[in-house]
Structure 1
């Protein structure tokens, strides 16, 4: 039977991590958790499930995921987040892979995202194809702070597995906003590194563009109240990222 190492990066996930860990039963031969010094029961819960927990300052998503990968014992690595759960169909696909062996180096899977308990089929949130299972000898995470991804040679072709990753992004609108605030802060750092200045009107333009892209181009209008809420947050996040960058660059120039 083939072996799979699972990696999870965490920070204050005590309300979600147990569902994630339960869905990994019969699939994970080891679970590597890299925790960014949680102040709740996250580490305690992970230890109770036999995870190998390491605590490390959060340097960015790509670097943290790659660090977790470097701690694994087996060649094939499944990366999952603490707020994600493997669907029954995806669990069956992975168990079948373990029994029959890996015929490919890189596997991808669809991700179904939930907003406040509701599945979202538009907004660019589905099928949201993710490469999450790979042979670390041939593929690994890039080191981007945000929008990180698994990179591999062009000669390798990802194979889609049946089933979904169920991604429970938030329980409340306020929780989603807090996550988006962190993304905006990370994005602002990227913007500052690429630009010498940000004009006053740019945050507004970027915000409107993000709203229209989500609501119209990505079909959020078809998701009802959830689609409208997600589109508004898309505006706010884009506006905030560019406004933070603008203010920081102005201060630097003074």
Structure 2
């Protein structure tokens, strides 16, 4: 059963993963919108061959790109996924049940699991993880945050949690994750500097240590072995870098 629901994906250079993302979505909807920001590989070709409506657009930022995709969608209800995320069969079943009749809620919260360099991560700071990814574009849209885009959920909006998972097939190598740490910490600092913010000693030096302790020990990241240690260490390094780049007041 296909639903009155449009899937919107923003893409760049993801020819190896985008097919799996789209194939899972095709079991739910006949409207898959891909907004590509200048891929140098075959991402757009693969997406179009699988039936997606593909738009090429220069990169303006996460929120603006996603909102553009929503504007192209045929339906008011949007399922927003990234180009390295796959809806599980269990989640697809839960979505179908939620749309068996007109939804009485404003948005749906979807549980996530991360596959990191080929390993399913079960513990640590990324678990449990859930994000609101299904919403009605008439009432909700993406904000303008340059670093971590979010939806304009208001207190009066009702949100229902579904069962199953979106599997996030994140970086393929540890080096890629370290590069993301450097990139996102710079984006955070640039945003803070524009807002006139500064960091202090606690933020720069104690917050990273606290984050590592929580993710690796309290949230049992050590049970994921070497990968659990690496993720906790790298998330702590991100915390250090973003405040160090922001600068002490």
Cα deviation code 1:12-33 (max 9, x no counterpart): 1111111101111121221111
> Could you tell me which residue of structure 2 aligns to residue 10 of structure 1?
11
* Secondary structure of residue in 1 paired with 2:178: helix
Moved more, 10-19 or 201-210: 201-210
CA RMSD across the alignment: 2.4
Match of 1:148 in 2: 149
Structure 2, unaligned stretches of length 5 or more?
none
Aligned to 2:45: 44
Report how far residue 205 of structure 1 moved: 4.1
**TM-superposition CA deviations, 1:112-135 (whole Å, max 9, x none):** 112122222222212211111111
Cα deviation code 1:188-225 (max 9, x no counterpart): 21221234655789644443343234223443233321
1:165-193 Cα offsets, whole Å, 9 max, x none, are 01111222112222323212211212212
Secondary structure of residue in 2 paired with 1:26: coil
Please show how residues 78-97 of structure 1 align to structure 2 within 5 Å. 78-97=79-98
Tell me the secondary structure at the aligned position of residue 28 of structure 2.
coil
Alignment of 1:50-129 (within 5 A): 50-129=51-130
Q: CA deviation at 1:244?
A: 3.4
Count of residue pairs brought into register by the alignment: 248
Alpha-carbon distance, 1:35 to partner: 1.3
**1:6-64 deviations in whole A, cap 9, x for unaligned?**
11111111111111011111212211111121111111111111222222232332232
Whole-Å separation in 1 of the counterparts to 2:208 and 2:21: 33
Secondary structure, in 3 states, of the residue corresponding to 1:124?
helix
Residue 230 (str. 1) matches residue 231 (str. 2): yes
Indicate conservation of the 8 Å contact 1:203/1:239, yes or no: yes
The answer on whether the counterparts of 1:2 and 1:102 sit within 8 Å (CA) in structure 2 is no
5+ residue gaps, structure 1: none
Give the aligned partner of residue 211 of structure 2: 210
Q: Displacement, 1:156?
A: 2.1
1:193 matched to 2:184: no
TM-score, normalised via structure 2 length: 0.88
**Whole-Å Cα distance in 2 between the matches of residues 21 and 159 of structure 1?**
24
- State the alpha-carbon separation in 2 of the partners of residues 99 and 201 from structure 1: 51
1:111 partner SS: strand
Aligned with 2:70: secondary structure?
helix
